[in-house]
């Protein structure tokens, strides 16, 4: 009896621990959250703390002694013309591009929630700009804006006859897209709209498809036409989702340096410089890690304020 009961007791002991562990919701929750917490701490938290430490010190590439200088770096960079251009351009590019993104995303979301042949292929084309690596896509646009071999110039010249002697756009056969301040800024904004519109459109498509069908049927019974239903029913109902989509797009655009770095390197002069690229040029290429970190730290309160305001607006619209 005793010898027979011992294996049974050991079996029970061996199966007790894992079964009770997976039944413990708190332990399972900790296990699933731990990778995300480690990711945030190691890849976001630590670099953020290092940036704060660098921003209040005189650390450089040649002198890594962290001598405390207080807010000296912030006051020094704030008076430089390059920083002022970068700050103004960051707001300018972000605000203008978000207007284009939200308009294009709504149009695409409405179209792609309709039933038509080949919709799957159109959706595939829509997601390509977002799925393509940013650097690779921007290099493609760099060719589009080439001052000698731009296909845009070829179409304007050969197809529409708008380039060349005696034409509407002037005697030159090519447009210097990235050499003129206004055109370079337009190019940066256009690429940002192109790459961020798919994400916003997919989010809005999910919002449109989640609208209960009985509400749309009731609007149709009441005699509401397409545009009236769109502006009075659909868009108000997905407004919280639209704001969240705009928040993601704003953060990605404001903090992105790839598009500007590949297209213009901040030129001509400072006319397309933004905070991320200016921080890179000063801190990494210029070797002044303290001032580079100080420039980067300007992004944090700005993005935090934008996130708080937009989340509050989204919450209020959802309640209403």
CA-to-CA distance for 271 and 261, rounded, in angstroms? 13
CA–centroid distance for 249 within its chain? 4
Task: For residue range 91-101, list pLDDT tens digits in order.
Answer: 999 999 999 99
pLDDT at 21: 66
Residue 18 reports pLDDT greater than 60: no
CA-to-CA distance for 35 and 45, rounded, in angstroms? 14
For residue 256, report the phi and psi dihedrals to the nearest 5 degrees: -90, 135
Region of residue 164 (phi > 0: left; psi between -120 and 50: alpha; otherwise: beta)? left
CA-to-CA distance for 222 and 114, rounded, in angstroms? 21
Contact 288, 271 (CB under 8 A): no
pLDDT at 203: 92
Contact 87, 254 (CB under 8 A): no
Residue 65 reports pLDDT greater than 90: no
Average pLDDT score over residue span 178-192:
94
What's the fold here for domain 76-319? MetI-like fold (1.10.3720)
**Structure tokens of 176?**
């210097």
Contact 182, 204 (CB under 8 A): no
Task: For residue range 285-297, list pLDDT tens digits in order.
Answer: 999 999 999 999 9
pLDDT at 139: 94
Band of residue 1 on the pLDDT scale cut at 50, 70, 90: very low
Task: For residue range 199-235, list pLDDT tens digits in order.
Answer: 999 999 999 998 888 988 888 888 888 889 988 889 8
CA-to-CA distance for 132 and 135, rounded, in angstroms? 8
Residue 89 reports pLDDT greater than 90: yes
Residue 62 reports pLDDT greater than 80: yes
Contact 285, 61 (CB under 8 A): no
Task: For residue range 250-287, list pLDDT tens digits in order.
Answer: 999 998 999 999 999 998 989 999 999 999 999 999 99
DSSP calls for 3-64: HHHHHHHHHHHHHHHHHHHHH-HHHHHHHHHHHHHHHHIIIIIHHHHHHHHHHTB---SS--
CA-to-CA distance for 215 and 48, rounded, in angstroms? 47
CA-to-CA distance for 47 and 62, rounded, in angstroms? 20
Contact 281, 191 (CB under 8 A): no
Residue 58 reports pLDDT greater than 70: yes
CA-to-CA distance for 84 and 88, rounded, in angstroms? 6
* Arithmetic mean of pLDDT over the chain: 87
pLDDT at 192: 95
pLDDT at 220: 86
Q: What DSSP character marks residue 256?
A: -
Band of residue 43 on the pLDDT scale cut at 50, 70, 90: confident
Residue 14 reports pLDDT greater than 60: no
Residue 15 reports pLDDT greater than 60: no
DSSP calls for 165-196: TTSTT-S-SS--TTTSHHHHHHHHHHHHHHHH
pTM: 0.85
* Among candidate residues 255, 240, 210, the one with its CA nearest the CA of residue 311: 240
Domain ranges within the chain, ordered by starting residue: 1-55, 76-319
């Amino acid at each position: 009896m005793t010898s027979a009961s011992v294996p049974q007791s050991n079996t029970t002991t061996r199966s007790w621990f894992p079964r009770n562990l997976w039944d413990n919701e708190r332990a399972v929750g900790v296990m699933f959250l731990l990778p995300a917490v480690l990711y945030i701490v190691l890849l976001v938290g630590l670099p953020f703390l290092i940036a704060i430490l660098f921003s209040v010190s005189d650390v450089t590439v040649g002198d890594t002694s962290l001598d405390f200088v207080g807010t000296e770096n912030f006051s020094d960079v704030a008076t430089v013309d390059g920083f002022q251009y970068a700050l103004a351009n960051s707001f300018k590019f972000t605000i203008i591009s978000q207007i284009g993104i939200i308009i294009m995303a709504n149009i695409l979301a409405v179209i792609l929630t309709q039933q038509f042949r080949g919709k799957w292929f159109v959706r595939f084309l829509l997601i390509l700009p977002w799925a393509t690596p940013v650097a690779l896509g921007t290099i493609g646009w760099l060719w589009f804006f080439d001052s000698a071999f731009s296909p845009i110039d070829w179409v304007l010249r050969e197809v529409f006859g708008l380039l060349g002697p005696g034409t509407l756009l002037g005697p030159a056969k090519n447009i210097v897209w990235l050499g003129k301040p206004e055109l370079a800024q337009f190019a940066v904004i256009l690429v940002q709209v192109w790459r961020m519109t798919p994400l916003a459109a997919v989010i809005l498509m999910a919002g449109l498809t989640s609208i209960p069908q009985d509400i749309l049927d009731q609007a149709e019974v009441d005699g509401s036409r397409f545009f009236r239903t769109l502006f009075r029913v659909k868009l108000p109902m997905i407004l919280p989702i639209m704001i969240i989509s705009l928040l993601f797009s704003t953060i990605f655009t404001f903090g992105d340096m790839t598009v500007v770095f590949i297209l213009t390197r901040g030129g001509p002069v400072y006319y397309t410089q933004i905070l991320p690229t200016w921080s890179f040029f000063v801190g990494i290429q210029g070797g002044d890690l303290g001032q580079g970190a100080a420039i980067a730290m300007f992004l944090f309160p700005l993005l935090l304020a934008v996130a708080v305001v937009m989340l509050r607006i989204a919450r209020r619209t959802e309640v209403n």
